[in-house]
Chains A and B, each alone.
Chain A
């Protein structure tokens, strides 16, 4: 399939090969292949319930797979030792769909949590870096002492992103980062991801439904369907595709509105 060939890149940061994931008898992912290039923002789309979050969670190691292999930073996660795996985990950050902030810790403690675990640095430096991260994600310093229950939905996403970035990872997974945000907030978030990718040299794996994000933030788009990647490429490739779901997705009423 043409999509499969485009999908393979040189020196990938994530290399997923023949992944199969099954819940009971339902096969969610069926021999899926995917490469993510270093430094790119990959937008990952597909119909609801197609298994986008499942693939993300499989790569991170939260969902067990039946078959296949996953390499992140060139380390095979199945055959890696505990210390190798910890090393990989230190170099990625994850933004969960609902934020998954620790509800009993303040924003500052949430952002400092990974630093406290992995780095032996002074409280002063942690506080300063926390403020830097908050500024990077566009939040005011006052937010630092609030608890997650006192934050709005958009702020939760931003704090969760700040926590995902707290160790300066090379790779971040974003699971529907703009869902539940107003269009302006979502636009700002896309811009933010772009800026961070440029300043920190991040690789971003972004599951999204937001057409605006695909147009403005993503370098490359991969489409999931029937447990496989049915297409991967630039936004122009997507628009040119003859696949029925893609045609509907990229030529529907909403897509036309986005394209203007």
Chain B
């Protein structure tokens, strides 16, 4: 009795019987859908139709619904359609399906020009909201910092030290390695091109100024945004998803004070240290390449470096580090706390944390360049 489902037509005068046989289950759903669609078309002309289901071997929701769908579409065509021969086992299933409202299918909204314009508008308005969010967070962090200064016992030292380890100590190997390689590359490129003018030694000037003023801190800030900014966003975001942040709030803790402040502080302390280590590694790498590839003796390199750069270059570089750290931290925390309930939202905010973090770091670098040029440093 089991096997492929079929729907046979048996004409009886004015009436028509549709005799369903076989297995009417989910596995045969594609076949069943076709059979039912055919039957809907062919059934015209008769006044009353019996759908005989007594020979059905196995029925599940899919089969029951398709029979119900057939019955409904026949009834709509002013035909009297009835389901007959329902066994006791399946009658409750068919009753269940009969209660379903079919016209609940929702149209998906089509892509329109106004829709696209609306999206652009929303994105532009979103920029203002982003800036407002950052300023808001900056204020909240400063307020929390001030409260902590007044009540130093509420400061979370353990948490800060833990985050220092995560963002500073554990970042040292990768930061040093990458800046070392960048130093090597700058020196090699410099020597390669300067040699044509016989200006080999000027590579030391270029390396010193570039690394201490710009590359060192900018590169490290970008790496930290990618490495620690994303981690902050993911941590805070998943805490938000699991209502941990709400839990903190109801216990009378300020999430900014408990979660954001230690992270911000750790980052603000970590970035100058990493920038310094990165600059040293880059200078070392550059010196090594200058010696091995360019034939500049280490003594000559150091002598030239001392003439070429002053403490101002170093200060210009290192002063930027805590500000960039603050920008990265604020962006990461704002994004983390903006995560909604879904895994997709967590991914989107982590991405946007890194993208915005790097963008604002570069903007800040430009602002600093104008500022230092104006004060003549």
Contact = CB atoms under 8 A, between A and B. Distances in A.
B104 interface: yes
B58 to A, nearest CB: 9
A168 B62 CA distance: 8
Contact of A147 (B33, B99, B341): B341
Interface residues of B, number: 30
Nearest to B344: A104
A148 B29 contact: no
Contacts of A121: 29-30, 33
Contacts of A133: 61
Contacts of B89: 201
A141 B30 contact: no
List of 8 A-B pairs having minimum Cβ-Cβ separation, nearest first: A149-B341, A104-B344, A103-B342, A168-B60, A141-B104, A199-B93, A199-B92, A127-B105
25 contacts: A102-B343, A103-B343, A118-B26, A121-B29, A125-B29, A125-B62, A125-B66, A127-B104, A129-B65, A131-B104, A132-B61, A132-B96, A132-B97, A135-B99, A135-B101, A141-B101, A141-B104, A144-B104, A147-B341, A149-B341, A149-B342, A195-B92, A198-B92, A199-B96, A200-B60
B100 interface: yes
Interface string B267-285: 0000000000000000000
Given A121-B30, A128-B69, A145-B106, A104 B343 contact: yes
Contacts of B30: 119-121
Contacts of A167: 26
A144 B345 CA distance: 20
B343 A124 contact: no
A200 B342 contact: no
Given A136-B96, A199-B96, A128 B344 contact: no
B73 to A, nearest CB: 12
Which secondary structure dominates chain B's binding surface? helix
A132 B65 contact: yes
A147 B26 contact: no
A103 B348 CA distance: 13
Interface in A147-164: 147-150
A242 interface: no
A229 B99 CA distance: 42
Contacts of A131: 100-102, 104-105
B25 interface: yes
B154 interface: no
A124 B341 contact: no
A129 B33 CA distance: 12
Interface residues of A, number: 34
A10 interface: no
Nearest to A170: B60
A132 B100 contact: yes
Contacts of A48: none
B340 interface: yes
A83 interface: no
Nearest to A136: B96
Given A149-B341, A168-B61, A125 B33 contact: yes
A143 to B, nearest CB: 11
A13 to B, nearest CB: 16
A233 to B, nearest CB: 27
A118 B25 CA distance: 13
A122 interface: yes
Interface in A161-208: 165, 167-168, 195, 198-201
A132 B29 CA distance: 15
Contact of B29 (A119, A135, A145, A200): A119
Contacts of A119: 26-27, 29-30
Interface in B315-374: 340-345
B106 A144 contact: yes
Interface string B22-38: 00011101100100000
A127 B69 CA distance: 13
Interface in A95-149: 102-104, 115, 118-122, 124-125, 127-129, 131-133, 135-136, 141, 144-145, 147-149
Contacts of A132: 61, 65, 96-97, 100
Which residue of A145, A148, A199 has the most chain B CB atoms within 10 A of its CB atom? A199
Contacts of A150: 341
Given A129-B65, A131-B100, A132-B61, 13 more contacts: A120-B30, A124-B105, A125-B65, A125-B66, A127-B104, A127-B105, A128-B69, A132-B65, A135-B101, A165-B61, A168-B25, A168-B62, A199-B96
A200 B92 CA distance: 9
Interface string B100-125: 11101110000000000000000000
A168 B105 contact: no
A129 B61 contact: yes
A165 B89 CA distance: 18
